[in-house]
Amino acid sequence: MKKKKTIKTIKIDVDKCNGCRACEVICSAFHAVPRYSSNNSQRSRIRVIHDPIRDIYVPVYAGEYTPAECAGRDKYTIDGKEYEECAFCRASCPSRDLFKEPDSGLPLKCDMCESDPTLDEPMCVKWCITDALTYEEREEEVDEDEPLEELDVGLEALANKHGMQKILDAVQRMSKKD
Ligand code: SF4
Ligand code: SF4
């Protein structure tokens, strides 16, 4: 059985990013408990990769957790600038500190601002004054049970890596924060 699903896309124009990190600030503040009570880029689900020598800023969204890092590293040259493969990678992986919750080490993932219905666009897009981030929605037909499978696989991978008790402890700690 097919159903309509809204596909939410944030487009990134690296040439427009000036490295202000407003996106990191607002994302971490939005996810603070209580909301907006603190900010810390390390808790942000978008991070700006910066290489001052090559004048590179790449905003990257936190994606899936992966239990193993890549064996090789490709390089990309775009408009004469050389990028490491990791610069575009969204994974929380064992070989770097990006997209890990600093207290528990658990992986972070962009959740589109918890799909908050009061927002007309994600907070990071709202706060990006250079329009390096822009938001788009479109309708697609998908199988009805698709999202559940994704959740199961994600939970299983997390439990394998960290142990279910650690995950439960972290969830309990987060829900108690004031
Ligand atoms: S808010 Fe926009 S310009 Fe600033 S760092 Fe984030 S993506 Fe770049
Ligand atoms: S869409 Fe929301 S959750 Fe995702 S990175 Fe932007 S502010 Fe954070």
| Mean of pLDDT values over 171-175 | 60
Q: How does the average pLDDT of the chain come out, rounded?
A: 86
**What number does the ligand 2 atom closest to the CA of 125 have?**
6
- If you measure from the C-alpha of residue 117 to the centroid of ligand 2, how many angstroms do you get, rounded to a whole number? 14
Report the pLDDT averaged over residues 26-32. Answer: 97
Q: Where are the alpha helices (DSSP H) in the chain?
A: 22-30, 123-127, 146-162, 164-176
Stretch 82-95: mean pLDDT, rounded? 90
Q: How far apart are the C-alpha atoms of 137 and 142, rounded to whole Å?
A: 15
110 lines ligand 1 (CB under 6 A): no
Ligand nearest to the CA of 116: 2
Structure tokens at 15: 């040439």
Ligand 1 atom nearest to CA at 22: 1
Q: What per-residue confidence (pLDDT) applies to 166?
A: 67
Residue located nearest, by CA, to atom 2 of ligand 1: 128
Judged against a pLDDT cut of 60, whether residue 178 lies above it is answered with no
Query: Residue 84: its pLDDT value, please?
Result: 86
From the CB of 111, is ligand 2 less than 6 Å away?
A: yes
Does 167 have pLDDT greater than 70? Answer: no
Burial of 124 (0-12, 13-18, 19+ CB in 10 A): buried
The better pLDDT of the pair 134, 87 is held by 134
What's residue 95's pLDDT?
87
pLDDT of residue 151: 47
Which one is predicted more confidently, 154 or 61?
A: 61
**158 CB under 6 A from ligand 1?**
no
Residue 17 pLDDT > 80: yes
State which of 14-23, 81-90, 148-157 shows the largest mean pLDDT. 14-23
Q: What is the pLDDT of residue 36?
A: 97
pLDDT at 162 > cutoff 80: no
* Residue 21 CA, closest ligand 1 atom number: 5
The one-letter code for the residue type at 133 is: L
Beta-sheet strands, E only, within the chain: 2-12, 46-51, 56-61, 75-78, 81-84, 133-143
